[in-house]
Structure 1
Amino acid sequence: MDCNGEADSVITIALFNNKGGVGKTTLAYHLAHMFSRMGVNVLAADLDPQSNLTSMFLDEAELEELWGEPSGLIDQGAAPQALISSRVVAAQTVADAVRPILEGLGDVEEILPTRIDTGLWLLPGNIELSRFEDHLSRAWPSSFAGDPAAIRTTTAFYRVVELAAQHAGADVVVIDVGPNLGAINRAALLGADHVLMPLAADLFSLKGLSNLGPVLRRWRSDWQEVVRPRIPEVISAPAGTMAPLGYVIMQPEMRLDRPVKAYARWLERIPWVFSTAVLGVESHSGDRPHEIATLRNYRSLMPLSHDARKPMFDLKAADGALGSTQAYVKTCFHEFRSLAEKILAATGIPHDR
């Protein structure tokens, strides 16, 4: 829903955990690919200034072209200009879209998403997006008073993604954000209908849940109860739902210095912490109703995936997935397919049309 109460046909899902290193971006990348294989039109939006999702989708020469850096690969003849231009448009990133606001020259600029494959598009990130953090921080308190300029700033990401999703004909937007509770993530998450939380079964993830749960609830209430009623009708703005979709356990490599018993102990504590910190309800049940899936560790496939510029579950023998590794690839496919089906069912998005 937008601020005028009109139905919004695009579902937005943000992947978020304020503890880094849990595989959030890898999960976003593979879910975007899997959704598209299931007949769902997908826009992957990289709203993390580190731009790791963008670097997973695009090769180095394309990144150089996209970010306006002198391309040594192009100069050396390793990457033909025509090949790059066919997929990447220079200076078409989220940072470029919000630059008019940052420089006081106007409102957001529509940028064209990059077509990755049939039904799969990328809204590229850029490290320059970090410059927008202070601007967003200053705009937040002014939004409470209904200041139009502040509200345009706070809703900038939502409107940039909205325009890109329309261009791509997206059914779902997968948003990747950084591992923090700063102003950039607040603005990014305000535009999310759902929030999916990748977790590791360890103390750091539990602490991360304890921190982000109350913050998400405060952002939601501040937006919906204070800011949203003051938004001018001419400004397209999000509902600020940010409904917790659940969590996905990212299984670690089991090492001798990290016994299975320790992993199980933290795993048992996650449901209670998720219920109390994220949902704000007491839960003493031994069930795990909000655990969507547990994904095993596929770290041995990641180097092959990176070199081949394709998801782990698409790796072939020609990519180096030989012998028993090919069985591992098939297991990876089935796990991500099952996870994608659960997410689509929970969000009401039809697939395999």
Structure 2
Amino acid sequence: MTKSVAFFNNKGGVGKTTLICNIGAVLAQEYGKRVLIVDADPQCNATQYILQEKLVNSVYANPDKAFTINSVVHPLAVGRGYSGRFSPTEGGEYGVDLILGDPRLAIAEDLLSGDWKDATSGSTRGLRTTFLFSDLISRCGNYDFVLFDMGPSLGAINRSVLLAVDFFLVPMSIDIFSLRAIENITQVLDKWRRQLRVGLELNENPGDLSFIRRPESLKFCGYITQQYKAKKDKHGKVQPVAAYERIRAQIPDIIEANFISKLQPEHSEVNYELGSVENLSSLIPMSQQQRRPIFAISAQGTHNSKARKTKKVFAAMADRLMENIEELQ
């Protein structure tokens, strides 16, 4: 059965795209999973990360001919209902398929914001617009995993994604702003859920909404920390620097208080820390330039050694992710 996971944090610069592309690649290449990445960020970072520049330029020279995320949204915007098209692009060296990003997705914020007001009043049209990504996921039965890359906002696009998926995963940097972002996510999820429950109760045509997920269905499946500066202790073991360690020590309690106790207290025994990644700033540009997963790039010397080690890191995260999904079902 297809599992859908949103990689989400309303704080930017936490490496969402790097993680989703490399974890997706590991799931496909090491675990033999069929993976679809949906680039639901108007900045199109995942699309640029995965696809060769020549192909990207070709697609966006004639965007109306390509199947992009805008192909999913546009028919609704012009009153034609859900899109009948479904033609993901092969993701090259990553071994995944990709629904291309599209800058025009940003225009959908107005549509989704307006119809959200109608949705919370019980309007069938408003609810169908809000759950457009549920319809998309329903057409992904050939995939084991559908992974959504999202922009850093709490806007209408991300709301529609989060209300549609099974799980959300939070990449985070080790800083005070990421801790505050977790609190923001919890507050807004609670608000959206309450508003949606009212809309569903007021709706008079439930038979037209059989595909819609209940707001309680979304589960938190874990977090990944990264972007700290590492150093070695006297035993040669890599350790985070003290300033980052003080913040890192707060993360489990913040996660417990905001996500676990409020969203899924019955699953408090699950290990939600999926892993941690060292600062990969020297490797990410090479990965982007070569359009390959970090663990598969061509590099020399220490860069090559460091790149190869990342496969174990990403594989461990993918393994923990799958274990958590299994436990949370």
Give TM class, smaller chain. 0.7 to 0.9
Is 1:312 the equivalent of 2:312?
A: no
Partner of 2:234: none
**1:17-37 deviation line (CA, Å, top 9, x unaligned):** 110001011101111111101
Provide the rounded CA distance (Å) in 2 between the counterparts of 1:107 and 1:288.
37
Q: Distance in 1 between matches of 2:273 and 2:173?
A: 12
Residue 76 (structure 1) aligns with: none
- Tell me what 2:325 maps to: 347
Determine the structure 2 residue equivalent to 1:75: none
Match of 2:185 in 1: 212
Question: What are structure 1's unaligned runs of at least 5 residues?
Answer: 1-8, 71-88
User: Which residue of 30, 37, 40 maps to 1:44?
Assistant: 37
Corresponding position: 1:232 with 2:225:
no
> How far has the Cα of 1:90 moved from its partner?
3.4
Deviation of 1:217 (Å): 2.7
Task: Assess, with a 3 A threshold, how the Cα gap between structure 1 residues 109 and 119 changes in structure 2: closer, same or farther.
Answer: same
> Would you say 1:269 and 2:269 are equivalent positions?
no
Q: What residue in structure 2 maps to residue 80 of structure 1?
A: none
CA contact (8 A) 2:134 2:164 kept: yes
Contact 2:82 2:135 in 1 (8 A): no
* Aligned equivalents of 1:157, 1:290: Cα separation in 2: 26
- The verdict on how the C-alpha distance between 1:195 and 1:305 changes in structure 2, with shifts beyond 3 A counting, is same
Distance 1:97 1:245 in 2: 26
Q: Identity of aligned pairs, percent?
A: 31
Letter of the 2:313 partner, please give it: E
Superposition deviation, residue 238 in structure 1:
2.9
Work out which of the residue numbers 105, 112, 135 in structure 1 matches 2:111.
135
State the Cα distance separating 1:271 from its structure 2 match.
1.5
Work out the CA distance in 2 between the residues paired with 1:162 and 1:66.
25
- 1:25-44 aligned within 5 A: 25-37=17-29, 38-44=31-37
| Aligned counterparts of 2:2 and 2:117: Cα–Cα separation in 1 | 29
Query: Compared with structure 1, are the counterparts of its residues 41 and 119 closer, same or farther at alpha carbon in structure 2 (3 Å cutoff)?
Result: farther
Aligned-pair RMSD on alpha carbons?
2.5
Q: Which of these residues, 186, 189, 194, is aligned with residue 162 of structure 2?
A: 189
Separation of aligned partners in 2, 1:331 and 1:266: 26
Q: Which residue of 1 aligns with 2:87?
A: 112
Contact 2:229 2:241 in 1 (8 A): no
Cα displacement (A) at 1:98: 1.4
The residue matched to 2:250 in structure 1 has which SS? Answer: helix
1:332 is aligned to 2:297: no
Residues 190-240 of structure 1: CA distance to partner in whole angstroms, max 9, x if unpaired?
A: 1111110011111110111111112123323433x3344536333422344
What is the CA deviation profile of residues 286-316 of structure 1, one whole-angstrom value per residue up to 9, with x for unaligned ones? x99432211112221112211211000112x
* 2:56 pairs with 1:63: yes
Residues 10 and 181 in structure 2, CA contact (< 8 A), matched pair in contact too: yes
| Distance in 1 (alpha carbons) for counterparts of 2:253 and 2:282 | 32
The verdict on how the C-alpha distance between 1:253 and 1:288 changes in structure 2, with shifts beyond 3 A counting, is: farther
1:74 paired residue number: none
Distance 2:270 2:75 in 1: 46
Aligned position for 2:301: 323
Distance in 1 (alpha carbons) for counterparts of 2:66 and 2:24: 23
Give 1:54 deviation, angstroms: 1.1
- Structure 1 segment 87-126 matched on structure 2, within 5 A: 90-116=65-91, 120-126=96-102
Q: Counterparts of 1:149-228 in structure 2 under 5 Å?
A: 149-163=125-139, 165-166=140-141, 169-223=142-196, 225-228=197-200
Alpha-carbon contact 1:40-1:119 (below 8 Å) kept: no
Give the 3-state SS of the residue equivalent to 1:233 in structure 2.
helix
Alignment TM-score, normalising by the size of structure 1:
0.81
Superposed displacement of residue 110, structure 1: 2.1
In the other structure, the counterpart of 1:5 is none
Question: CA distance change for structure 1 residues 265 and 305 in 2, over 3 Å: closer, same or farther?
Answer: same
* Alpha-carbon displacement from aligned partner over 1:303-346 (angstroms, at most 9, x marks no partner): 2211211000112xxx2x12232221221011011110110111
Runs of 4+ more than 6 Å apart:
none
The match for 2:280 is 298
Q: Secondary structure at the match of 1:90?
A: coil
TM-score by length of 2: 0.86
Deviations, residues 140-169 of structure 1 (Å, cap 9, x unaligned): 121123312112211112212432x23xx1
1:8-57: CA deviations, max 9, x gaps?
Answer: x2111101011000101110111111110111111101111111111111
Give the Cα–Cα distance (whole angstroms) in 1 for the partners of residues 213 and 58 of structure 2: 32
Cα pair distance change 1:202/1:36, threshold 3 Å: same
Partner SS for 1:170: coil
* Count of aligned pairs between the two proteins: 309
8 Å CA contact retained: 2:131, 2:212: yes
Residue type of the alignment partner of 1:127: P
Give the equivalent residue in structure 2 for 1:79.
Answer: none
